[in-house]
Structures are given as structure tokens and as C-alpha cells.
A and B are shown apart, each in its own frame.
Chain A
Amino acid sequence: NAGVMQNPRHLVRRRGQEARLRCSPMKGHSHVYWYRQLPEEGLKFMVYLQKENIIDESGMPKERFSAEFPKEGPSILRIQQVVRGDSAAYFCASSGTGVTEAFFGQGTRLTVV
């Protein structure tokens, strides 16, 4: 049973470009969470999704950021018109139904140059 898969592991984008980060949850998991982590800091919640639904996006910036978790395929975190301040590690986690532990992927490290 594969764990949470994120790709790419590293992503370099120039300012103004779009970044697409993908997350495939663990098999059988229908809850997906995205977190952002700056160096030497904790994880900041961004968005919580279930299949085809955004449950909580209170941590998402109002502009340029969006997330989806379609019926088929991975969850996507999209950042439009990236700026240097978007450089960070973005982690995805998944969990099953109910209050269960969330398992994390290895993250995507976004660098904006």
C-alpha cells in the first residue's frame, strides 16, 4: 500500500509563472490536507478537501491560490503568478473517515526565482 505521493519533489518557477503541485492520497483515503512550511517553522494549514468538495479553506490566501480534489485523479494545489514569497515546502496529508491520524507525503519544495 503506497503512502501519500507528492510530485514533483522539487519545482522551480520564475516569478509570474504558475505552479501545480500534485498529491495522491493513500489508498482508501478520501480526506486531503495541504500545508505550507517555511524553513525552521511549523506547518501552516492551507486547505482541507474531500472528493469534489472543499471543506475548509480558511488557511488559503485569497488570491492566486486554489485547490481541488476531483472524483478521479490526484489533488492539485495551484499557485498562479508565483512570487518569491511563495517559496516553501508544501506538504499534503491524507486520512480516512473519522478522527484518524493523517499521513504525510514527502512534500514539494517550490523555489521561485
Chain B
Amino acid sequence: GESVGLHLPTLSVQEGDNSIINCAYSNSASDYFIWYKQESGKGPQFIIDIRSNMDKRQGQRVTVLLNKTVKHLSLQIAATQPGDSAVFFCAENYIYGGSQGNLIFGKGTKLSVKP
């Protein structure tokens, strides 16, 4: 079964507000996490990543927080814009044999931004 899941399947926010998208993972061996954004009819687009030796990483308008104690990952989007409307997926990766493993994806959260 899925080792990565999302708490909320849909999220509706007002333009300009901050958005928080949550994700739970179950594989304690995972040491690399990525957030992807997928717009309708397109492939997933990389947003931001974080390694397990960090608990926070910031990008442009986005921040990823990692809480390894409770196996929780979140994506914060500041000043959400209509163009942010998409489905957001978290993904986890684990290392085996010294090589990169496969990305395991959660089910996704659909973010809807109201103007």
C-alpha cells in the first residue's frame, strides 16, 4: 500500500492567503522528500525538496517543513495566487544499496485559489 498519504484531499484558499498542504509518510528509512505540482494535463513539476538532515527549507514563496519525529511533511505557499491552483503531491525516496531508490507518491491535494 501507499507509504505516503495526505491529510486533506482538497484545499480552497483566498487569493493572497497562505496555504499549507500536509503529508504523512510511514517509511522511517526515507531520507529525501520532494513536493511536486501537477497542473491539469501536464506532468508533475518539481517545487522544492528537503533531505532528512534538515527540518526546514525555503524557496521562492514556498517553505517545506519536515518533522521526522511524527513523520510529517508540509508545504507552505505564501501569498497564494490563482496560478498556484493545481494538485500537489509529496514524494519520498529511500536509499538502498547506496543508489537512489524510487519515488513513492502520495495521493495528492487539490489546491483551489479563489480570486
Contact = CB atoms under 8 A, between A and B. Distances in A.
Interface residues of B, number: 25
Interface of A: 4, 31, 33, 35, 41-45, 48, 55-56, 58-59, 91, 93, 95, 97-107
A23 B26 CA distance: 31
A102 B104 CA distance: 12
Given A99-B51, A99-B95, A107-B43, A45 B89 contact: no
Contact of A98 (B2, B45, B100, B105): B100
Nearest to A31: B100
A95 B49 CA distance: 14
A72 B45 CA distance: 27
11 contacts: A31-B100, A41-B107, A45-B105, A48-B101, A55-B99, A91-B43, A98-B100, A99-B95, A101-B34, A101-B49, A107-B43
Tell me the interface secondary structure of chain B in the complex.
Answer: strand
Interface of B: 2, 31-32, 34, 36, 42-46, 49, 51, 89, 93, 95, 99-108
B43 A105 contact: yes
B105 to A, nearest CB: 4
